[in-house]
Amino acid sequence: MTGIHGSPAVRLARRLVVKDSGCIEWTGPKKRGYGLIGVDKKTVNTHRLAWELANGPIPDGLHVLHHCDNPPCCQTKPTPGYPDGHLFLGTPAQNAADMIAKGRNHQQKKTHCPQGHPYDEANTYIAPNGGRHCRICGREACSRWGATLGRGPKSAARTHCPAGHEYDLANTYVHRDGSRHCRACRAAGGRAARRKAAA
């Protein structure tokens, strides 16, 4: 849509400057370093608009990431040092991993969860989106959930399912009624049911 100040493409180009690094930086409004521009009565990131103008719509659920690690950069073409271009598409998990690899995720500097438990190998669950979760806090949350819904303290205090699998964050499914279920046992039951149906 073209407004009184020109189309989004014209308004974007008007406030871009070329840097020696090959980046083309947005000089207008920013939030956390990322450029902002109004399009169809919405505020969008300039690097996303630049990608769409050059490559078409961004598929649902994908982010536009920076090879150059320069948030206001809107360079869509390859330059020396960036043969694949400055911008690329990635999933939320890839975006989180990219931030961690480039040292821009402030959460990764934390050595303990808010409750004081260490983020060590044994106590840290890495979610599919790259986020870290404290296993101790996850178990305690499951126990509290069960207790508030009338589950007995004996059940809430169990750390393993009857088959011996640990009730940790990655392996525990909490039903809406508060009951805990072992994901490993559920998966094994599903495989057994499929084998029986195929026999």
What would the two tokens of residue 151 be? Answer: 């589950």
Rounded Cα distance, 84 and 78, in Å: 6
Q: Which residue has the higher pLDDT, 180 or 71?
A: 71
How many C-beta neighbours within 10 Å does residue 35 have? 25
Chain-centre distance of CA 21, in angstroms? 28
Q: Which residue has the higher pLDDT, 58 or 128?
A: 58
Question: What mean pLDDT do residues 14-21 have?
Answer: 93
Chain-centre distance of CA 83, in angstroms? 26
Best CA proximity match to 134, nearest among 142, 146, 122, 147: 122
Best CA proximity match to 48, nearest among 35, 33, 30: 35
User: CA 55, 59, 65, 71 torsion: positive or negative?
Assistant: positive
Question: What mean pLDDT do residues 103-128 have?
Answer: 76
What does the pLDDT look like over 45-64, one tens digit per residue? 999 999 999 999 999 989 99
State residue 194's pLDDT score. 65
Rounded Cα distance, 26 and 29, in Å: 8
Best CA proximity match to 33, nearest among 72, 68, 65, 69: 72
Alpha helices in the chain (DSSP H): 8-14, 46-55, 92-101, 135-148, 153-157, 183-198
Q: Which residue has the higher pLDDT, 101 or 21?
A: 21
Domain boundaries in the chain? 8-109, 124-198
Rounded Cα distance, 185 and 191, in Å: 10
Task: Please give the model's pTM, rounded to 2 decimal places.
Answer: 0.54
Contact 75, 24 (CB under 8 A): yes
Res. 197 pLDDT band, cuts 50 70 90? low
Question: Cβ neighbours of residue 145 under 8 Å, at least 6 residues apart?
Answer: 174, 178
**Cα–Cα distance list, 117 to 123, 133, 134, 136, 137 (Å):** 8, 10, 7, 7, 8
